[in-house]
Structure 1
Amino acid sequence: MSHKDEIKDGGRDLNRDPITKAPGAHPIGVGVGGAAGGAAAGAVAGTVFGPVGTLIGAAIGVVAGAAVGKGVAERIDPTGETEYWRDAHRERDYVKADHDYDRDYAPAYGLGLQAREAERTRDWGESEATLQKEWESARGESRLGWEDARPAVRDAWDRTDRTYDLYERSDAYYADAFERAPYRDADADYSHYQPAYRYGAYARTRHADRAWDDRLAAELESDWTNRRGNSPLDWDRAKAAVQDAYVSHDHYAGGSYLRDNSGRDDTDRFRVG
């Protein structure tokens, strides 16, 4: 679903079925291997926020936002998020030293991400009571009670908000800048490039300590088919737009990054808390 469609729907991601366009669909398990299949037993068939799938790389059933078809480029990469939180959770003061990421915390981060993707109109205060009820089903083998899981769920919820805010900023910036882009194909319009811009903006949040180079480009190319949505651009045509959004983040990211990027370190990373 395009950004304009989101606005028409009141800013809410309705998780439309990619074929029927009916609201409420949240395809799960796309591209998940056999290892994840065993974890699916710990996943919930559905919640009031939508079905919960299996997050690749996690040992517990959580969200898989790998929807196919229209709208996929507007979603948040679940594989990237589980790897992000695998590192970032170590810095959180709410994490218990004797608890495990895959078993205990991945389900909480997955619930926060999935819930915020499914319901974009209610704030945390309106949603917390429902999330607390959902946690009992979504937790799988997690040893965390709600009071201990709550900070992780909220952390992922807030990061999701910031990621969508970044998408909105990049959309606003490139809807205009695209007209002057030297790589623009004469027969293409902005909607063809929007997924590439969003992919580049999101990739920067995942790799803020890396400069753009051939190795990074090759890594991003490997996932372009899953990120392009309905864009007709192959990687060779999309690459320049992805790179543009990746290296030009200061033009649209507002306060999400520090301006002084010399000697880049973790303080330059997209802030999640």
Structure 2
Amino acid sequence: MPHLVADEDDDLPTPCIVADPQRQDDYWRATYRRERYFRAGCEYEDYAPAYCVGYVGYAQYGGEYEQAERSLFANWERIKGASRLTPQEARAAFRAAWEREARDSRAADPAHGR
């Protein structure tokens, strides 16, 4: 699974550790084909970097997705590798992973969302 690393020239915060990246990867591997944005012909390897951008991005930036989207796209460009996703497809995948991580974080710590 790719890791996000901020360049020295970036004004991005240092990545936080995601509580359980293997759990996230297992979840998305099992469900990606059922997502509304799934495109036939794409494999999990196409989506995995986008999911990583989303759930690590939430741990890294927190807050509202819209405020972090520009940084998420920069991270996507760094780690997408051979992914065949269009930018719109990548956006949908990292938004889904961001929102899932946000829900999981709030459920684990109700004070987190306040």
The alignment covers a number of residue pairs equal to 107
Q: Structure 2: which 5+ runs fail to align?
A: none
Instruction: Report the Cα distance in structure 1 between the residues aligned to 2:103 and 2:56, rounded to whole angstroms.
Output: 14
Correspondence 1:1-273 to 2 at 5 A: 45-46=5-6, 48-50=12-14, 65=17, 75-101=18-44, 103-120=45-62, 122-169=63-110
Deviation at 1:125, TM superposition (A): 1.4
Cα-Cα RMSD: 2.3
Secondary structure at 1:130 match in 2: helix
Deviations 1:26-83 (A, max 9, x none): xxxxxxxxxx7xxx6xx554362535xxxxxxxxxxxx94xxxxxxxxx421111101
Instruction: Report the Cα distance in structure 2 between the residues aligned to 1:128 and 1:45, rounded to whole angstroms.
Output: 16
Deviations 1:88-140 (A, max 9, x none): 11211201110110x210100011011100112x3111111221222111212
CA distance 1:140–1:113, change in 2 (3 Å): same
Q: Structure 1: which 5+ runs fail to align?
A: 1-35, 52-63, 66-74, 172-273
Aligned residues of 1:108 and 1:152 also touching (Cα < 8 A): yes
CA distance 1:50–1:100, change in 2 (3 Å): farther
TM-score by length of 2: 0.80
Instruction: Report the Cα distance in structure 2 between the residues aligned to 1:50 and 1:165, rounded to whole angstroms.
Output: 21
Structure of higher RCO (CA pairs closer than 8 Å, 6+ residues apart): 2
Q: Which runs of 4+ in 1 moved over 3 A?
A: none
CA distance 1:44–1:140, change in 2 (3 Å): farther
Instruction: Report the Cα distance in structure 1 between the residues aligned to 2:5 and 2:64, rounded to whole angstroms.
Output: 24
Question: Quick one: percent identity of the two aligned structures?
Answer: 31
Instruction: Report the Cα distance in structure 2 between the residues aligned to 1:110 and 1:44, rounded to whole angstroms.
Output: 8
Between structures 1 and 2, the one with greater helix share:
2
Deviation at 1:163, TM superposition (A): 0.6
Considering only CA atoms, is the larger Rg found in Structure 1 or Structure 2?
1
CA distance 1:49–1:159, change in 2 (3 Å): farther
